[in-house]
Amino acid sequence: MCFAHNDNVCSVKNTSLPISQIFQAATVVSTCVRACYTPQMQTYSHAILTAALNRPLKKWRARNPERIPPVQTGALMLGSILPDVLLIAISGIAIASDFARGVFRDPRFTQLTPDTPTPTELLDLSMTMRLFDVWFFENRWIISAQNIFHSPLILTTLIIVGYQLWRRGQKRGAALFWIACAALLHSLIDIPLHTNDGPLLLFPFNWTYRYFSPLSYWDPNYYGREWSIFEHGLDVVLLVWLGWSNRGWLRSRIGRKNDSLELGVD
């Protein structure tokens, strides 16, 4: 597929693309990125924030070994992204379908801006747009996929179950406890960062009730740009702090890798 020439097969023999064609290709890529925007705070930001909490939580647990289940880093990290995983997978299918049908190269799509409502003809054309503009609010399967691990009621229940299992000596209880804790933190951060598309607060008992926030993580009409700058600035600060506080571990990993290379072992 040739993005630069808006055709399935590129008919231009010259392999070096002129600047204007490179810009055209970049526009198509940015349109795909816009379509990939899912109605939740960037999942990687949740993961970075949770990774930054790992060490303080372990110290807190070390002071309270009788009352708090052992902190499991893998469980924490899984829980931090779990709420978004199902919708990301469904988005991937929708985006792949649109991509295969050439939807993103449609001029009506490339002219779309983040702060304008989606035209009806684009909803008919694009599965991705239908997913986020219609099914996200009306389709019971999509609502379930998005809310099952965002639901404060379900996650609180899982925290209680995990804690009780751990108290009875079952190690898997600790993993369940920390997965659910990280997922609940994710959801509690999502709730005030959405105007009309946040987690359903009373799911599975109510399928429409959301908190309408004056702030949106993505919508420029509700400080989405400002939030995005803050969020990614925070990501950078936390990543630098994580790198610094784990520098001993990183150094030992790099040293071990170098030793393996010198010995010819992979």
Q: Binding string to Zn ion for residues 1 to 40, with x set by CB under 5 A, is what?
A: ---------------------------------------x
- Give the nearest distance from C-beta 103 to Zn ion in angstroms: 25
Minimal distance, residue 250 CB to Zn ion, in Å: 29
- Min CB(42)–Zn ion separation in Å: 9
Question: Cα-Cα-Cα-Cα dihedral of 59, 64, 68, 74, to 10°?
Answer: 20
Query: Long-range contacts of range 174-179, CB-CB < 8 Å, 24 or more positions apart?
Result: 174/69, 174/70, 174/72, 174/75, 175/72, 175/74, 175/75, 176/75, 177/69, 177/75, 178/69, 178/71, 178/72, 178/75, 178/76, 178/79, 179/75, 179/76, 179/78, 179/79, 179/82
In whole angstroms, the minimum distance from the beta carbon of 262 to Zn ion comes to 44
Among 83, 162, 173, 224, binds Zn ion (CB under 5 A): 83
* Residue 91 binding Zn ion, by CB under 5 A: no
The whole-angstrom separation of Cα 50 and Cα 83 is 13
Which residues ranging from 223 to 262 are in contact with Zn ion (CB under 5 A)? none
- Region near Zn ion per CB under 5 A, out of 10-18, 77-85, 122-130, 133-141: 77-85
Residue 79 or residue 162: which is nearer to Zn ion going by CB? Answer: 79
Cβ proximity to Zn ion: between 31 and 43 the closer is: 43
DSSP 171: H
Q: Considering only residues 76, 84, 183, 198, which one is a binding residue for Zn ion as defined by CB under 5 A? A: 84
Q: Does 190 bind Zn ion (CB under 5 A)?
A: yes
Q: In angstroms, rounded to a whole number, what is the distance separating the alpha carbons of residues 75 and 77?
A: 6
Residue (10 or 53) nearer to Zn ion, CB: 53
Selection from 61, 62, 39, 51 nearest residue 185 by Cα: 51
Binding-site ranges for Zn ion (CB under 5 A): 40, 83-84, 190
